[in-house]
């Protein structure tokens, strides 16, 4: 199953929320992303079916190793691109929005080149 941008966003959100809270529920994702609970339910169902997310009996969500790998990749891209743009003088809010758009579409090759350039 090829993950779409929205799926990557959900995985990254679960990762971010896991860093803030000990547990993550669908309602937490809904509030964080500003999307409806039915949208979250549908997305989580697809991510569970794809082997990216687990949900226990109480509704707590965790990333599978595959889901965590993708979430960490998106998170690294997001943080590094945001910092890079801010370093160029871009307003932090704009830098964050642009990084969010780019992180899902940039090739591994180009991202690795940016990482080398920054270091």
pLDDT in tens, 52-74: 999 999 999 999 999 999 999 99
CB within 8 Å of 7: residues ≥ 6 apart: 43, 46, 47, 50, 52
Give me the pLDDT at residue 2, please: 61
What average pLDDT values come out for the chain (119 residues) when binned by 10 residues? 81 94 91 94 94 94 96 93 94 94 91 89
Query: Which pTM value belongs to this model?
Result: 0.88
Class of domain 73-118: mainly alpha
Burial class (CB in 10 A: 0-12, 13-18, 19+), 32: middle
* CATH for the stretch 5-69: 1.10.10.10
Give me the pLDDT at residue 111, please: 92
Domains of the chain, by residue range, sit at 5-69, 73-118
Helical pair 65-87 and 5-20, crossing angle rounded to 10 deg: 90
* Distance separating alpha carbons of residues 104 and 111, to the nearest angstrom: 11
* Distance separating alpha carbons of residues 24 and 65, to the nearest angstrom: 16
């Amino acid at each position: 199953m090829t993950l779409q941008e929205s799926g990557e966003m959900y995985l990254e959100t679960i990762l971010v929320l896991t860093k803030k809270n000990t547990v993550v529920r669908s309602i937490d994702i809904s509030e964080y992303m500003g999307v409806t609970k039915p949208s979250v339910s549908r997305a989580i169902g697809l991510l569970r079916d794809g082997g990216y997310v687990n949900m226990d009996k109480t509704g707590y969500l965790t990333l599978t190793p595959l889901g965590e790998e993708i979430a960490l990749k998106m998170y690294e891209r997001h943080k590094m691109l945001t910092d890079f743009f801010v370093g160029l003088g871009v307003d932090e809010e704009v830098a964050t929005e642009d990084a969010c758009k780019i992180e899902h579409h940039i090739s591994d090759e180009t991202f690795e080149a940016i990482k080398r350039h920054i270091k």
